[in-house]
């Protein structure tokens, strides 16, 4: 896969002027709202983009919308701000980090937040059945160890895509795996000097198809790699337009 355009754009962004604190916060807040809406919508949240903005920016409760939907949005916002802190410190990815992200994502579930699942699960319509709960700690430890190898001799987008596919395959938590996984994906992009990407609700079929490609006969991460790369190129081009 050719990452030449992506790498050239990333280099161009790094060579341009730095955003000041106010500008950076404005762009991050705008991204965070859109990302929170799309990531939670993929999992069934019913808040619209405008409603999500009202909940996160103004603390408004939307009439006739479930409390759960409000808490999911707030939890995702808190988790996004947390990954920004982690990225600023270049914190290595670990099970501790993953559990902390999940604790914020699943803020409305005191019993299960940040805790690996203790029951078997199935993913509706998926080609892959997640491992039995007693295997989750072992497979998560292996995944973290393997991630270091994934990053050697490969483009970071390829490593991040494969990590995400495997993480969702382990499905370590009873709930919130998708939101947590996509936040981890963005944490690793930011640490690599790239911009966070927003996997849009409108593109959810492409996103789901990438799991079928990985866990099906083809067993390839190319579909998700291409999807992430296309999003990254779009984000970099948008940033260049702003900085220009």
Residues identified as active-site? 171
User: Is the separation of the CB atoms in 159 and 149 below 8 Å?
Assistant: no
| CA–CA distance, 135 with 137 (Å, rounded to integer) | 6
Distance CA 80, CA 36 (A): 8
3-state class (DSSP) for residue 202: helix
Three-state secondary structure along 41-72? HHCCCCCCHHHHHHHHHHCCCCCCCCHHHHHH
140, 109 contact by CB (below 8 A): no
**Which DSSP state fits 173?**
S
Residue 224 burial (C-beta neighbours within 10 Å; 0-12, 13-18, 19+): buried
CA dihedral of 161, 167, 168, 172, whole degrees rounded to 10: -170
Q: Contact at 8 Å (CB) between 215 and 123?
A: no
CA angle 68, 117, 198 (to 5 degrees): 55
């Amino acid at each position: 896969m050719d990452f030449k355009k992506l790498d050239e754009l990333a280099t161009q962004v790094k060579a341009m002027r730095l955003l000041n604190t106010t500008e950076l916060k404005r762009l991050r807040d705008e991204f965070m709202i859109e990302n929170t809406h799309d990531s939670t919508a993929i999992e069934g949240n019913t808040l619209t983009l405008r409603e999500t903005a009202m909940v996160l920016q103004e603390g408004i409760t939307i009439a006739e919308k479930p409390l759960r939907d409000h808490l999911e949005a707030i939890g995702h916002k808190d988790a996004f701000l947390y990954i920004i802190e982690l990225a600023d410190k270049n914190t290595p990815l670990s099970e501790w980090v993953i559990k902390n992200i999940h604790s914020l994502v699943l803020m409305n579930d005191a019993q299960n937040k940040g805790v690996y699942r203790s029951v078997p699960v199935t993913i509706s319509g998926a080609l892959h059945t997640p491992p039995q709960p007693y295997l989750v700690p072992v497979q998560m430890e292996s995944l973290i160890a393997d991630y270091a190898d994934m990053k050697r001799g490969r483009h970071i987008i390829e490593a991040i895509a494969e990590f995400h596919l495997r993480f969702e395959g382990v499905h370590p938590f009873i709930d919130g795996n998708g939101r947590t996984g996509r936040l981890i994906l963005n944490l690793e992009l930011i640490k690599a000097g790239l911009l966070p990407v927003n996997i849009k609700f409108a593109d959810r079929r492409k996103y789901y198809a990438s799991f079928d490609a990985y866990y099906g006969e083809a067993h390839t991460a190319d579909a998700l790699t291409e999807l992430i790369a296309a999003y990254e190129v779009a984000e970099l081009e948008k940033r260049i337009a702003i900085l220009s």
